[in-house]
Structure 1
Amino acid sequence: MTLTALQAGAYLHHLAFHSAAPAELAKFYSNVMDMDCRQVSEVEWRCEGPLRRMIVLPGESRKMAYAGLACRTAEGVALIRARAEAEGLEILESPSPYFEDGFAVRDPDGHLICFGKAIAESGEHKGIHGPTQHLTFASLDVERFVDFYHGKLGFALSDRVLHDNGTLATAFTTSNHEHHTIACFKSDRTGVDHHSYEAGEWSTIRDWCDHFATQDVQLMWGPGRHGPGNNLFIFIEDPDKNWIEVSAELEVIYDRDTIDWPQHPRTLNKWGHAIMRS
């Protein structure tokens, strides 16, 4: 199977979420996730930090509007688009304000995924290190997730977590050198499980925790270490109950086969308490 998205080197560039209280949510990302925030229209707020971006739009809370995956070249965007067309996927217009040469597709659970070449930014943003890193969905059907992202778009399948009966509990897919770009947990609902920012190293997770303390935001989970990806993690949640992960030391994959893991608390957290999804 040709790993088209991996060849294109796509990476998670930004996310857009709906909220019933968009101004409040935008203020949270500005203060707690250390981003500059501006209202660009009556219905759109943009929060921007060093290599991280969050768009907030009015709508149903805890619902993603779209995800933006950037390719380093226009040729990479064209490569993924040609693969999507060959697989018979409907090519949609990208709503992303950060991309040129962009297009979008919908996955089987209805999530709008945009691909494009990032428009060069003017100026630099200050703040704690934490680029947008990965997105993890909750779904009733992880097998269908794998068929779409791995089978139709050409993401690499990094790891799988299997129930005792062999069915998929979790799947991790990547479109670059990191362990996962988009993952999926089997759940009793459909939507976003969490989105993650890369701290880089353990001491920066400490800095994030100290910053959260100044904002009176407590950790909801962690610190811990995942099995798949081997990354250190902490979790908080925003006012809409979206889960936010800050991660460090995520595995860099050079060349290896897909690894299967058992559905077990120690797979999710080697160190202790695990929040099991299924």
Structure 2
Amino acid sequence: MTLTAVRAGAYLHHVAFESADPERLAQFYADAMDMELTKTDNEWICEGPQRRYVVRAGESRKLAYAGLACRDAEGVAELKARAEAEGLDILASPSAFFEDGAFAVRDPDGHLIAFGLAKPQKAGFKGICGPTQHLTFASLDVEAFSDFYHGKLGFALSDRVLHKDGTLATCFTRSNHEHHTIACFKSDRTGVDHHSYEAGEWDTIRDWCDHVAERNIPLMWGPGRHGPGNNLFIFIEDPDKNWIEISAELEVIHDRPVKEWLHEPRTLNLWGKAILRS
């Protein structure tokens, strides 16, 4: 199977969420995640060094869209051709961050996923380092997620987590050398489980902890270390109850078989407390 998304070098460039109080949510991200805030006609845009978060008015805790940038225009075209060949509906990209030629598709749970060539980020952004890193969904059907991202778009499978009866609990897919770009947990709901920002290394996790502590934002989980991906993490929660992960030292994969893990607390956190989704 051709790993089209990996060939394109796609990576999570930005996410956009809906909110019943978009201005409040945007102001939280601007402060808590150390980003600059601007307002357009229908979006609040938070932007920092290699990280971007967009808010639109709407239903709280709902993903408006996610934007994955490709290495070059050829990669965008190849992904679009793959999606067309798989019979997917090609939709207009909603993202202002992409050049002409971007497109979007909807996954089995209705999430709008855009692919494009990123416009250059303007210079002068300051703040703690931390690019947008990955997006993780909650779904009733993880097999359908795997079939879509791996089978139809050509993401690579990194790890699978299985219940004791052999059914799929979690699926990690990647579109570059990092362990996961988009993942999915088996859940009793459909939506976003969390989105994540890259901290780089352990010392930057410390800096982020100090940063959120100064704002009286408690850590809801962590510090810990995941099994799949082997990354260090902390989690906080935004005013709409969306989960935000800050992650460091995520596994880089060049060539290895897909790993399978048992769905148990130690898989989610090698160091202690785990939040099991199913």
Sort the TM-score into its range (normalised by shorter chain): over 0.9
Residue 118 (structure 1) aligns with: 118
| Residue aligned with 1:144, SS | helix
Q: Gaps (5+ residues) in structure 2?
A: none
Matches for 1:216-235 after TM superposition, within 5 Å: 216-235=216-235
Residue 134 (structure 1) aligns with: 134
Residue 212 (structure 1) aligns with: 212
Matches for 1:2-151 after TM superposition, within 5 Å: 2-41=2-41, 43-100=42-99, 101-151=101-151
Give per-residue Cα distances to partners, 1:199-256, cap 9 Å, x unaligned: 0000000000000011110100000000000000000000000000000000000101
Superposed displacement of residue 124, structure 1? 2.6
Q: Distance in 2 between matches of 1:44 and 1:253?
A: 36
Superposed displacement of residue 121, structure 1? 2.2
Provide TM-score, normalisation by structure 2. 0.99
Superposed displacement of residue 136, structure 1? 0.1
Superposed displacement of residue 120, structure 1? 1.2
AA aligned opposite 1:277: R
Q: Distance in 2 between matches of 1:189 and 1:127?
A: 35
Residue 166 (structure 2) aligns with: 166
Residue 264 (structure 2) aligns with: 264
Q: Distance in 1 between matches of 2:231 and 2:121?
A: 29
Superposed displacement of residue 123, structure 1? 1.9
AA aligned opposite 1:60: E
Runs of 4+ off more than 4 Å: none
Give per-residue Cα distances to partners, 1:180-206, cap 9 Å, x unaligned: 000000000000000000000000000
Residue 177 (structure 2) aligns with: 177
AA aligned opposite 2:54: I
1:276 corresponds to 2:276: yes
AA aligned opposite 2:15: L
Q: Distance in 1 between matches of 2:109 and 2:62?
A: 12
AA aligned opposite 2:130: G
Q: Distance in 2 between matches of 1:16 and 1:135?
A: 11
| Residue aligned with 2:136, SS | strand
Give per-residue Cα distances to partners, 1:141-177, cap 9 Å, x unaligned: 0000000000000000000000011110000000001
Give per-residue Cα distances to partners, 1:5-44, cap 9 Å, x unaligned: 0110000000000000000000000000000001122x21
Q: Gaps (5+ residues) in structure 1?
A: none
Q: Distance in 1 between matches of 2:160 and 2:70?
A: 25
Give per-residue Cα distances to partners, 1:52-78, cap 9 Å, x unaligned: 000100000000000000002000000
Q: Distance in 1 between matches of 2:33 and 2:86?
A: 38
Residue 238 (structure 1) aligns with: 238
AA aligned opposite 1:98: F
Give per-residue Cα distances to partners, 1:112-142, cap 9 Å, x unaligned: 0000000112223101011000000000000
AA aligned opposite 1:233: F
| Residue aligned with 1:252, SS | coil
Q: Distance in 2 between matches of 1:198 and 1:266?
A: 22
Residue correspondences, number = 277
| Residue aligned with 2:5, SS | helix
Q: Distance in 2 between matches of 1:21 and 1:39?
A: 14
| Residue aligned with 1:271, SS | coil
Aligned-residue sequence identity (percent) comes to: 75
Q: Distance in 1 between matches of 2:122 and 2:263?
A: 45
